[in-house]
Amino acid sequence: MSEQATVRMEGVGKLFHGVQAVEGVDLEIRRGEFFALLGPSGCGKTTLLRMVAGFEMPDRGSIRIGGRDMTGVPANERPVNMVFQQYALFPHLSVAENVAFGLRVRRTPEPELRERVAEALASVQLAGLAGRMPAQLSGGQQQRVALARALVNRPELLLLDEPMAALDEKLREDMRQELKTLQHRVGISFLYVTHDQQEALELADRIAVMERGKVVQVGAPQEIYEVPQTAFVADFVGVSNLIPGKVVERERLLVESAPGASRRVVLALDGFGRVEAVSRSAMETGARVTLCLRPERIHLAASPVEDLVNRVLGMVERALFLGSEIHYHIRLKSGTLVRVHDSYSPLQPARREGESVYLQWRAEDSTVLTR
Amino acid sequence: MLAAAGWATLLFLYMPILVVLVFSFNASQYGARWGGFTWEWYARLAHNQNILRAAWNSLLIGVVSSALATVLGTMAALAVERFRWARPELWEGFFFIPIVVPELMMAIGFLLLFGVFGFPFGLGTLLLGHTTLNLPIVWLIVRARLKKLDPRLEEAALDLGATPWTAFWRVTFPLLSPAIVGGALTAFAISIDDFVISFFVAGPNSTTLPIQIYSMLKFSISPEVNALSAVLFVASMVLVGAAHFLQDRKEGYVH
């Protein structure tokens, strides 16, 4: 067991009413890491979190925290603390007593307890509200109390179960920044469960994307976004054009500058025709694949641009103005709909609906998915 | 029109109670004639040895049976919630049926049961009867509160290092306490007022207040009975009022 890992899960599985809620999960959370479990509701991310907390026991596999096997260790003896969805603050206790709860049950001496509670409240900017009751606090303040209540115990790992779900959009953005700052300051590993890909991309050092009980991809946010390994990940994280097709020509040229052994392949895509792309894995000619093409990677122009190898003509069907960006729905001659995101600038007029445009991109701008 | 109907209904509901209250202060001993205001009947109550003994019995049975019912009813409510037994509505049904079963049937059942086992009729049988009567009521009140309690609160306590025992006493119990106290007070009020079961299972030396009133009525409607009923009424109202107050207060705690 390396000293760098706070949590190590090996082959973790859990059956719920005959349904495989979590299956064969291998994950490692490094010391001081902000780790996000991302997936749609029902993908098993909350069950996995609850198994780390000790509220559920895995049927298979093992979870080690700080090098110690947690099999059979009850929740109250684990070196982790949780920030619950809706926070689960004790309604009959003041803010200070909520925060003091963990220290009291561990019989911390009174002077030390007071000092640590004050320190924890100060760290979440709630020093003035120690005497309030939870019902008198706003949603954002309740979340801070929940954070202080967990962090005051100095856990090895902080678990967060969709902590932003109860907050409105504006507050969520502020709290994201604050959470990131707080995590850097305390240096504790965070395991953050969310269904919001934006949140995961912005906050996490690494993300595990889950689908139907399994971890389908683990990686840094950029890696997950730029090199999704399955169509599900490409679709769930960010917006993608997922175009089915097959390989017609392979390894025409080795790109030496790209990391790994990248090969240039030629694909025949349904509704697009021949397209050049880059593949990281060896592919057979004739293999069915899906091309993931991010909307912001497509360049729109009235006339062809020389160094963009892929080119297809389409017609603007709809233009949605979103302030800093314009989102286009572009219909190809074949009838296929393509989404394109372009940055907006008043200097460059937007494409009008009904206008004909060239959609162009480099081979490196797309990802070839085999699953 | 509707308002008038409302007032008429209220009047209809409270008329009998008002009559008893008013006549308990009637100086005239006989009939429905008003003979002026007096405290005499209340004063006589305080010197009637039979009534005082019955009052003591009622108090004793009320306190002990409601205490027993509260402990057992609360434990049963917690058990159904905690162990997430399949089909909780079935349990709800089982605990609810005794409340709607004709009390007379329960009373006859007790009579037969105690007879079969040769149980001597007296305070013991009264206690058992009243505890059985009160238990489902406490169960219902505590369970209603428990269902509204966020199960994550106890998980949060465990997560913060509390043992299940500590989590219960520091989190669940304080949040349930208004319902537990409210259930106990309601049980006590029901016990104090109970006639049917008491009448069947009481022994010669374990007369309770309602039975005492009934036996006094066999001779004549004396103003003393009115006074005694009034005392019982006020005591019940205070208890039920307190129970409601406790259940409503801190309602804000529940998510």
B252 has a pLDDT exceeding 50: no
Output the pLDDT for position A356: 92
A249 has a pLDDT exceeding 60: yes
What does the angle CA A122 – CA A128 – CA A134 come to, to the nearest 5 degrees?
Answer: 95
* Residues B30 and B53 grouped into a single domain: no
Query: Do B186 and B243 contact (CB within 8 A), yes or no?
Result: yes
* Residues B7 and B131 grouped into a single domain: no
Output the pLDDT for position B217: 82
Q: How many CB pairs under 8 A join A and B?
A: 74
* Residues B161 and B180 grouped into a single domain: yes
> Which of B154, B160, B166 is the best mutation test for A, with the most CBs of A within 10 A?
B160
* Residues B7 and B102 grouped into a single domain: no
* Residues B164 and B227 grouped into a single domain: yes
Output the pLDDT for position A252: 52
Mean pLDDT computed over B134-141? 93
In the block, residue with structure tokens 């269902």: B147
DSSP A140-160: HHHHHHHHHHHHTT--SEEEE
Those of residues 186-205 in B touching chain A at CB distance below 8 A are: none
- Determine the residue type at A105: V
Domain that holds residue B7: 1-38
Residue A18, classed as helix, strand or coil, is: coil
Quote the CA–CA distance of A134 and A86 in Å, as a whole number: 12
Who among A55, A76, A89 is closest to B161 (CB)? A76
Q: Which residues of B touch A135 (CB under 8 A)?
A: 252-253
* Residues B147 and B233 grouped into a single domain: yes
Q: How confident is the model at residue A358 (pLDDT cuts 50, 70, 90)?
A: very high
More confident site: B36 or A107? A107
| Average pLDDT of chain B to the nearest whole number | 87
Report if residue B175 sits inside a domain.
yes
Mean pLDDT computed over B62-66? 95
Which of A160, A195, A196 minimizes the C-alpha distance to A178?
A160
Output the pLDDT for position A197: 93
The CA distances from residue B198 to A368, B58, B59, B122, B224, in Å, are 83, 10, 13, 10, 21
* Residues B3 and B55 grouped into a single domain: no
- CATH number, residue B171: 1.10.3720.10
Output the pLDDT for position B253: 45
How far does Cα B92 stand from its chain's mean position? 20
A254 has a pLDDT exceeding 90: no
* Residues B63 and B21 grouped into a single domain: no
More confident site: B61 or A306? B61
Mean pLDDT computed over B152-170? 95
Quote the CA–CA distance of A162 and B183 in Å, as a whole number: 37
Strand ordering across the sheet containing A19-30: A19-30, A5-16, A60-65, A68-69
Residue A23, classed as helix, strand or coil, is: strand
Quote the CA–CA distance of A7 and A67 in Å, as a whole number: 8
Mean pLDDT computed over A245-267? 70
* Residues B139 and B80 grouped into a single domain: yes
B238 has a pLDDT exceeding 50: yes
* Residues B6 and B67 grouped into a single domain: no
Report if residue B43 sits inside a domain.
no
Q: How confident is the model at residue A107 (pLDDT cuts 50, 70, 90)?
A: very high
Output the pLDDT for position B254: 41
Output the pLDDT for position B188: 92
Report if residue B111 sits inside a domain.
yes
- The percentage of residues in chain B with a pLDDT greater than 70, rounded to a whole number, is 95
Q: Which residues of A touch B252 (CB under 8 A)?
A: 91, 135
Summarize pLDDT for A304-356 with one digit per residue, the tens.
888 888 999 999 999 999 888 999 999 998 989 999 999 888 887 788 888 99
Taking an 8 Å cut-off on Cβ atoms, the answer to whether B160 and A81 are in contact is yes
Summarize pLDDT for A150-200 with one digit per residue, the tens.
999 999 999 999 999 888 888 888 889 899 999 999 999 999 999 999 999
Report if residue B44 sits inside a domain.
no
Query: Do B189 and B65 contact (CB within 8 A), yes or no?
Result: no
Output the pLDDT for position B36: 86
- The percentage of residues in chain A with a pLDDT greater than 70, rounded to a whole number, is 96
What are A24's two structure tokens? Answer: 């064969």
Taking an 8 Å cut-off on Cβ atoms, the answer to whether B161 and A80 are in contact is no
Output the pLDDT for position B31: 65
Output the pLDDT for position B251: 47
In the block, residue with structure tokens 């005694």: B228
Question: Dihedral of CA A308/A313/A316/A320: which sign?
Answer: negative
- Stated pTM of the model: 0.82
Summarize pLDDT for A20-56 with one digit per residue, the tens.
899 999 999 999 999 999 999 989 999 999 999 999 9
* Residues B29 and B104 grouped into a single domain: no
Report if residue B27 sits inside a domain.
yes
User: Which of A206-210, A223-227, B224-228 has the lowest average pLDDT?
Assistant: B224-228
- The percentage of residues in chain A with a pLDDT greater than 90, rounded to a whole number, is 70
Q: Which residues of B touch A88 (CB under 8 A)?
A: 150, 152-153, 155-156
3-state per-residue secondary structure call for A161-195: ECCCCCCCHHHHHHHHHHHHHHHHHHCCEEEEEEC
What are B71's two structure tokens? Answer: 């402990």
Strand partners, A27: A9
* Residues B94 and B179 grouped into a single domain: yes
Question: Dihedral of CA A108/A113/A117/A119: which sign?
Answer: negative
Q: Measure in Å the smallest separation between the Cα of A68 and chain B Cα atoms.
A: 17
Summarize pLDDT for A47-92 with one digit per residue, the tens.
999 999 999 999 999 999 998 999 999 999 999 999 999 999 999 9
Q: Which residues of B touch A86 (CB under 8 A)?
A: 150, 152, 255
| Cβ-proximal residues to B214 (8 Å cutoff; 6+ apart), any chain | B195, B199
Output the pLDDT for position A253: 52
Q: How confident is the model at residue A255 (pLDDT cuts 50, 70, 90)?
A: low
| Average pLDDT of chain A to the nearest whole number | 90
Report if residue B198 sits inside a domain.
yes
Q: How many domains, chain B?
A: 2
